[in-house]
Amino acid sequence: MKKIISVFCVLAMLFTCCIPAFASAEYPFKTADGNIRDPYVLVYDGKYYMYGTGLSNGQGYGCVVSEDLENWSAPIQVFSPDASFDGYCDYWAPECHYYNGAFYLFATYRAKSTDKRGVGVFKSDSPTGPFVLISDGHITPKEVDCIDGTLYVDEDGQPWMVFVNEWTSREDKIGAMSVVKMSDDLTHFVSEPKEIFRADRHLWTDGNITDGPFVYRTSEGNLVMLWSNHARSGGYAVGMAVSDNGKIDGNWLHYPVAMYKRTDSLPDGGHPMLFTTLDGQLMMAIHAPNASDETVFETAIFIPMQDNGKILVHSDGNFFSRTADTILGIVFDVYRILYGLFHK
């Protein structure tokens, strides 16, 4: 479950005090200046728009804008709830997707009517809003806690949502990941949600959460999902799974080691997403560390990645060596063959 950090409420102060003398008027803040969780970067029209938990000036959702991923604007409020809005807290993990000529915000909030967390869908003609709710409140099941919805559009143009069945509403207290088909206008579901995996039963995990799903298709056609849990070695981390048949509702093979985890030189971190920079570099965004204290606070970090056709690897090789990459690729191929033989 996401932690509510009190410093989020004063994010605007963090962005509006102690401005460096060399900062420009339009982009006065550095990446490290911003206290943010769950960063999501939209690249549009020559600029980067970063959304995330903690960028709102009060309740709702906000974003910051950059031209170089280093210098950012002051927070821009993209959605502010009015008195009729059903949400009242836990404004978490907004993602902005450009789809069919408009901008759609998939974002978590806690509802007054149910006291449950869920994902709503909001729409705007601009990446900076204002966004308007277009789903009937929570689009995710209203009777349970669901968070971290993300959009995936398959090769046939069918939109899907991947979302988290939060551990807080599950009898065994183990979170799960689900997928569901969406209507073409993204206002409602057109199928029943399907659970595709749980937080446990993976070699690298030691927690009960399934945070921050993000879906990516590799250059050779493999469908990859990044997500976060706690690692056996300690701390918040990022894992990677590959669909056995290239479909979002397929069976997911989870790689045995975390692709990002805490080390002697790196803080823990997670809630991953991928984007391609203006100069063509594939990049993973996460927040790190996973908790604030008197000396450090969570902020966005950007990690160069490579698509090797089968999976994603870190550009400098720190997370998967070439040998491990080859072995894991073979393991996946064997698994896919065996699964096909036994599930015809």
Question: Region 270-277: what's the mean pLDDT?
Answer: 98
Please give the pLDDT value at position 92.
Answer: 98
Residues in the chain: 344
Token duo for residue 87: 């949400």
* Confidence check: pLDDT of 16 > 50: no
Give the ranges where the chain is alpha helix by DSSP (H). Answer: 11-16, 322-342
Find the range with the poorest average confidence among 45-54, 67-76, 160-169, 292-301.
Answer: 292-301
Please give the pLDDT value at position 331.
Answer: 67
* Confidence check: pLDDT of 13 > 60: no
Distance between CA atoms of residues 262 and 172, nearest Å = 27
Give the ranges where 101-239 is alpha helix by DSSP (H). Answer: none
* Confidence check: pLDDT of 264 > 70: yes
Distance between CA atoms of residues 273 and 213, nearest Å = 8
Distance between CA atoms of residues 256 and 277, nearest Å = 29
Question: Region 254-279: what's the mean pLDDT?
Answer: 94
- pLDDT band with cut points at 50, 70 and 90 for residue 340: low
Please give the pLDDT value at position 319.
Answer: 47
* Confidence check: pLDDT of 31 > 70: yes
Token duo for residue 45: 């029209």
In terms of CATH, what superfamily is 6-342? Glycosyl hydrolase domain; family 43 (2.115.10.20)
Nearest alpha-carbon partner for 119 in 84, 151, 77? 151
Average pLDDT, the chain: 89
Helix (H, G, I), strand (E, B) or coil at 21: coil
Q: Do residues 186 and 203 lie in contact, with contact meaning Cβ atoms separated by under 8 Å?
A: no
Q: Look at the alpha carbons of 126, 88, 16, 70 in this order and tell me if their dihedral is positive or negative.
A: negative
Convert the pLDDT of each residue in 122-163 to its tens digit: 999 999 999 999 999 999 999 999 999 999 999 999 999 999
* Confidence check: pLDDT of 10 > 90: no
Distance between CA atoms of residues 256 and 311, nearest Å = 13
* Confidence check: pLDDT of 250 > 50: yes
Burial degree of 113 (CB within 10 A; 0-12, 13-18, 19+): exposed
Please give the pLDDT value at position 20.
Answer: 42
Token duo for residue 40: 């999501």
Q: pLDDT above 70 covers what percent of the chain?
A: 85
- pLDDT band with cut points at 50, 70 and 90 for residue 18: very low
Distance between CA atoms of residues 305 and 275, nearest Å = 10
Question: Region 206-228: what's the mean pLDDT?
Answer: 97
Token duo for residue 331: 């393991």
- Residue boundaries of the structural domains of the chain: 6-342
* Confidence check: pLDDT of 342 > 80: no
In DSSP terms, 274 is beta-bridged to 284
Token duo for residue 195: 């659970």
Please give the pLDDT value at position 336.
Answer: 59
DSSP letters, 203-267, are TTB-SS--EEEEEEE-TTS-EEEEEEEEBTTSSEEEEEEEESSS-TTS-EEEPSS-SB---SSS-
Helix (H, G, I), strand (E, B) or coil at 30: strand
Q: Do residues 127 and 63 lie in contact, with contact meaning Cβ atoms separated by under 8 Å?
A: yes
Give the distance between the most distant pair of CA atoms in the chain. 66
Question: Region 320-336: what's the mean pLDDT?
Answer: 59
Number of other CB atoms surrounding residue 288 within 10 Å: 22
- pLDDT band with cut points at 50, 70 and 90 for residue 260: very high
Distance between CA atoms of residues 130 and 125, nearest Å = 8
Half-sphere exposure of 7 (CA within 13 A, CB side): 16
Please give the pLDDT value at position 3.
Answer: 42
Tokens 């000396």, residue?
295
Distance between CA atoms of residues 183 and 21, nearest Å = 49
Vertex 330: Cα angle to 324 and 218 (nearest 5): 85
Distance between CA atoms of residues 125 and 109, nearest Å = 22
